[in-house]
Structure formats: structure tokens, C-alpha cells
Amino acid sequence: MLVLVDSILSSVQRRGQLSRPGREARWLRCSSVPERRCRHAGEVGQLWYVVPSDPRITHDIYLPKLGQAARPKASRGDRVVVEITEWPSRHNAPEGKLVEVIGSPGAPGVDVESVIRQYELPSRVSPGESAGEARRLGGEVTAADRKGRRDCRKQLVVTIDPVDARDFDDAISLERLEGRRWRLWVHIADVSHYVTPGSTLDKEARRRGNSTYLVDRVIPMLPEVLSNELCSLKPGPIDWRVAWSLC
């Protein structure tokens, strides 16, 4: 079980115990996913501890070897990730070890990194195998790719994403027909042209489920060469899309 840690305060009376000298550690709320929890670090003499944010865990988690570890080393007030290594009984406090130091709660980016740890979000960059598979697709549309496709470049196509969007995967266009009739075209980026069922890209996209938009970044479902380039409906470059018409 892993944990994330926040700042240390004054002496406290711990839950279910008599008051004794110690330091309180405020904690982030964490998800209940197995192996992942958020915590704060406190210190009693040379014994550090973290306090679970999950109210179902009623014991502090002690870090007996924290002072011996060279790297990573936590400072008071840092948010950290901790792994529970021993929990002999639900009546006794578990022990753990420091896995990662996120940083001081007030430092830029620490809050976002804490959210990523809390919700077990994937890394911003796709794993090497899926990223390599995406790079092998190349950055341009080939003549072979065009076979069997309708050329919509003469249509006035308007994307419905905001101008500052990172990817443009939805668009519409209008076509005038005879008898005061119009045809509405709906254009959707054809991701299936590149992501085939059972491929590494497909498996990684299924694992991620969606792109995650944070304050300062996007964690994409697909590698950026796909989401931001090949599968983005930008003016100029040729791209693949699935189009439906409504009359």
C-alpha cells in the first residue's frame, strides 16, 4: 500500500490513544485503490510516521528507517509516497518505507503531482512500446493511405473545438443541394485508421480510458503524434476522418 504525505504540526492526541508528545501530520485525501494512499509525515524523536487520509485506516504508519535512507529524503511538510511493508494486526500500527518525495505543498506543481498520485493517473508520456509504435506511423499521410477515401478538402470545414485546443477531432461542414436543401456533414477524426484492435496503442488507450486535463498539462489517451498531429483536423495537412451526412 503506497501513501502520499503532507506537513507536520504540533503535539497531538492520536486517535484511540492517550495524549503523548508527537507531531501532527495533515494529509491529502486519497483514493481507495489498493497499494495507493496519500499521507503526511511527522516525527517523534527519530521515528517518523504518516497519517492516513482514509478514515477507515485508524492507525498511523511508522517509518522506522526514514532517517537511514540517503535518497529520497523527506523534509518536514513534504508530501511523499509511502509503501506499507508490515501490518501484523489490525490492532497494531503498520510500518512502512518512503518511496517518493513529491515536495513541499506550496511549491509550484506539487498540487498537480499529488492529484496524479492520488488518482493513479498514467504518466504524461506513453510507455516506450506504444510511443514507438506511434512514431513508426510517421507524421505524414501517404498515397497508399488515400486509397478509397473521399477528398473533402474543397469543403469549408469548421472545427467545433476552441482555438486554443491541443487537438481538433470534431468538425462540421454545410453543402448546398437542389431545391433549397442543405446537407450537414459531421467529421470525426478516424483514429481507427492508425489504432488497430489488439495493437499496443489500442491496449494502452484502453488502459488510460480518456485524456485527462489538469491545470498545467494534458495526459493524453493516445501519444501526441496521434492526438495532436495525425488525428487532429488541422487546416493544411491531409488527415483522415469519418464523415456522416444529414440532409
* First vs last C-alpha separation in the chain: 57
Backbone angles phi, psi at 119, to 5 degrees: -100, 15
pLDDT value at residue 140? 67
Q: How far apart are CA 188 and CA 168, in angstroms?
A: 9
Per-residue pLDDT of the chain in tens (247 residues, 90 and over written 9):
555 544 333 233 344 443 333 333 333 333 333 333 444 455 555 567 776 656 777 788 888 766 555 445 777 777 878 888 888 887 788 888 888 888 888 899 888 988 888 788 887 666 666 767 777 776 666 777 777 888 887 888 888 888 888 788 889 999 889 988 999 999 998 888 888 899 888 998 999 999 898 988 888 888 888 888 888 887 776 666 677 777 5
Q: Are 37 and 57 in contact (CB under 8 A)?
A: yes
- HSE (side-chain half, CA atoms, 13 Å) at 218: 13
Q: What is the pLDDT of residue 47?
A: 66
